[in-house]
Amino acid sequence: MPLKHILRLAGDRYRTLIPFARARLADVGVAAVIVLPALGQATSAGGTPTMLYGTLDTDASTAATESAAGVGMAMFEFDWAGFEPKQGTFSSAYLASMKADLDAYQAAGMDITLGLGLQDPPAWVFKLADATYVDQKGDVSAEADFVFSAAVRAAADTYLAQIAASIPLSDFWAIRLTSGGDGEMVYPGAGTYWAFNSSALTGNGLPAGMTANPYPAWIPGTPGLTQDEIEQWVTWYVSGLDNVTDWQMQELNELGFTGYYETVTPGSGTRPDVLAAQEQRNLPDGTTGVGAVWNVYYSRLWYSSLDTFYTDASATGEMAAALAQARSCGFTVFYWAHDTNLWSAIAAFTTYASMIG
C-alpha cells in the first residue's frame, strides 16, 4: 500500500508521519519541525488544522507576490555575527535592514517565523570559556557549544534580549529553536560524541540544569561500561539538547513571547531497537553521536503539551484531531500508537472505540 494511504500516529512522537493540531510535523529538507505553543498559551483548537505554506530564506522583494499566491509564512532569520560584531556592540545599520525586511513581510500580510541565528555567532564568542565542543578523539568542533558552556549561553542571553528590545516578539507567529551551534536540534556532525571539553568532563562552567559527564573516563566505542550504564550515558547526552531547548523557551517566555516554538529535528534518527544494539557494541560512532535519539529527546522535554494533548480525550484532543485529519485526507488505514496505552490510564480504549464508531 502506498505510504500516502497510511497514517501511523505514534504516542512517542518521533514516528509521526503527518502533521496534526498541536504538534505538527512538516518536511523541511531532511528535517521535521515540531510546533509547540509558548507557555501559558491556550490549548489546541479541535478539528483539522489549517496548513500554513512558507519558504525558507524568504526574499522580502517578492513577499507580496508570494503572499497573493497563498504563501502566508515568511522566515525572518537573524544573524548574530551581523547584529553583534563586537561583544555588547549592536549594529544599527544591520537592524535597520532587518526591520525593512520585516516591514515588507508585514505589508504583504504574512505571518512571520523568527530564526534566532545562533548558529552564526561572531568571532569573539569562540574566545569565551569552553566555547567549542570536543569529541572523544580530542577533535574540536567549529560550532559554538551551547550545551556545555554557560559563558556561551550568557552571551546569547544578551543577544536575544537585544532582539526583543529592538523588535517586539509579538510580531512573530513562531520562533525556531535549534541546538544553537547547528541549524537543527543536533550536536555537530560526523557521528562522534561531543561531550569531552573541560566543562562537560568536570562540571565547572556548565549552564544551569546541566550535569557533568557521568562516566568521564569512558570513551564511546570502547568497553568498560555495562549496557545499563551506556544507556544512562546516552540519556544524559541527549538530555543536553533538551536543556538547550528548555533554556531557549524559558528565556524567550521571560522576554514576553507568546506565540509558537518550532523545534527543528532531523527526520533521520536512532530507533530504540537500533540504540539497544549500539549499546551492546559499546556505542560506536553514528547517528546517535549527533543526539538524534528522538524518543529520548521528546520524552524528556519539560514542556508537557505533547503528553497532555495525547491524553486529552475531548473533541479538542490529539485523537479527535488526528482522526478528523485522516478522514479529510482520505486515508485508508489509521493506527493509534500504542495498543497498550488504550488499556491503561494513558488513553482509554472506550474513547478510541467511541471516536471510530
Find out whether 342 and 348 touch, Cβ atoms under 8 Å: yes
Residue 248's pLDDT is what? 96
φ/ψ (deg, to 5) at 313? -90, 5
pLDDT tens sequence across 72-107: 999 999 999 999 999 999 999 999 999 999 999 999
C-alpha span between 129 and 308 (Å, rounded): 39
Residue 257's pLDDT is what? 94
Find out whether 162 and 90 touch, Cβ atoms under 8 Å: yes
Show the cell assigned to 16.
Answer: 509521526
- pLDDT > 90 in the chain, percent: 66
φ/ψ (deg, to 5) at 279? -65, -35
Beta carbons within 8 Å of 40's beta carbon, 6+ residues apart: 253, 258
Give the confidence band of 340 by pLDDT, cuts at 50, 70, 90.
confident
pLDDT tens sequence across 258-292: 898 999 998 889 999 999 999 999 999 999 999 99
**Higher-confidence position of 47 and 169:** 169
Residue 307's pLDDT is what? 61
Give the confidence band of 205 by pLDDT, cuts at 50, 70, 90.
very high
Residue 161's pLDDT is what? 98
- pLDDT > 70 in the chain, percent: 83
Q: Which helix H or strand E contains 243, and what residues bound it?
A: helix 227-254
Q: What is the DSSP string of 44-96?
A: PPSSPPPPP-B-SS--GGGHHHHHHTT--EEEEE--HHHH-SBTTB--HHHHH
13, pLDDT greater than 70:
no
C-alpha span between 50 and 46 (Å, rounded): 11
C-alpha span between 316 and 328 (Å, rounded): 16
pLDDT tens sequence across 146-168: 999 999 999 999 999 999 999 99
C-alpha span between 267 and 286 (Å, rounded): 15
Residue 2's pLDDT is what? 33
225, pLDDT greater than 60:
yes
Give the confidence band of 243 by pLDDT, cuts at 50, 70, 90.
very high
pLDDT tens sequence across 23-59: 332 323 334 566 666 654 433 333 444 678 999 889 9
C-alpha span between 193 and 182 (Å, rounded): 15
Residue written as grid cell 527526520 = 267
Q: Coil, strand or helix: which one is 184?
A: coil
Give the confidence band of 298 by pLDDT, cuts at 50, 70, 90.
confident
What are the sequence ranges of the domains in the chain?
Answer: 18-51+116-303
5, pLDDT greater than 70:
no
Find out whether 111 and 73 touch, Cβ atoms under 8 Å: yes
Cα separations in angstroms, 70 against 4, 73, 291: 24, 9, 36
pLDDT tens sequence across 113-146: 999 999 999 999 999 999 999 999 999 999 999 9
Residue 335's pLDDT is what? 86
Find out whether 86 and 123 touch, Cβ atoms under 8 Å: no
Residue 133's pLDDT is what? 98
Other C-beta atoms closer than 10 Å to the C-beta of 86 total: 10
* pTM for this predicted structure: 0.78
Residue 235's pLDDT is what? 96
pLDDT (mean) for 324-346: 82
Residue 337's pLDDT is what? 76
